[in-house]
Amino acid sequence: MPFHDRTEAGRRLAAALGRFRTEPCVVLALPRGGVPVAAEVASALNAPMDLVLVRKIGVPMQPELAMGAVVDGEHPLVVRNRDIIGLAGVREADFQAVCTREREEIARRRALYLGDRAAPPVEGRVAIVVDDGVATGATTRAALRAVRLRKPARLVLAVPVAPTRTLVELRDEADEVVCLEDYEDFGAIGLFYADFRQVGDHEVTAILARFPAVAPQDRAPAS
């Protein structure tokens, strides 16, 4: 078993990202599972932490199978997995119906997790996108594309574990990929953790409360 829990995975990932400690960074977590992992990275790098609110768009009769993903924003970014859509015979109306539901869940999470919390600056910084693992890559790809639009100086994907093939495909979406373990025979992310209990809303908000949205060096001096 490569990882005991998300906290241990985050500490190991932080060690692999240590070279970024001297650079202006922002750590962006995919909720909910990526938040405890990202917290360890942000703490080690002394970096601000924020969320990338992205939701998988699951096949109607098989919701765990991603036919796409949607990312929050003024103009929500939708990424389609056209191979899955074709194989599953999903109609456009059905795709849009699931997409609408996921956008509603994103709105709920935005209000609950972030409220009026200011978003840390991304432009010109190293943006490190963190999750607890990658499966199909649909949500990860959507998150990376959305962050890229915010013009980071460098875009880094950092995850503890991923399928080898998906990892290769994602290297085109990021400037750098840091993954501690990758496997040809993957299965599910939870198989690589001894403790993979669900991360709840309360845990997400509690972790975010520990991290200011703006790094200390970016705060305006007191008058």
Residue ranges of domains in the chain: 6-53+118-214
Cis amide prior to 32 (ω within 30 degrees): yes
Q: How many of the other CB atoms lie within 10 Å of CB of 137?
A: 22
d(CA 201, CA 95): 27
Find where tokens 């405890």 sit: 36
State whether residue 197 is helix, strand or coil: coil
Q: How many CA atoms lie within 13 Å of 2's alpha carbon, on the beta-carbon side?
A: 22
State yes or no: pLDDT of 176 exceeds 60. Answer: yes
pLDDT at residue 220 in the model: 45
Q: How confident is the model at residue 214 (pLDDT cuts 50, 70, 90)?
A: low
Decide: 30 and 144 in contact? Cβ < 8 Å: no
d(CA 3, CA 76): 34
Decide: 5 and 13 in contact? Cβ < 8 Å: no
Q: CATH fold of 6-53+118-214, please?
A: Rossmann fold (3.40.50)
Find where tokens 């768009």 sit: 57
pLDDT at residue 116 in the model: 87
Using one digit for the tens of pLDDT, what is the confidence trace for 71-98?
997 778 998 989 999 999 999 999 999 9
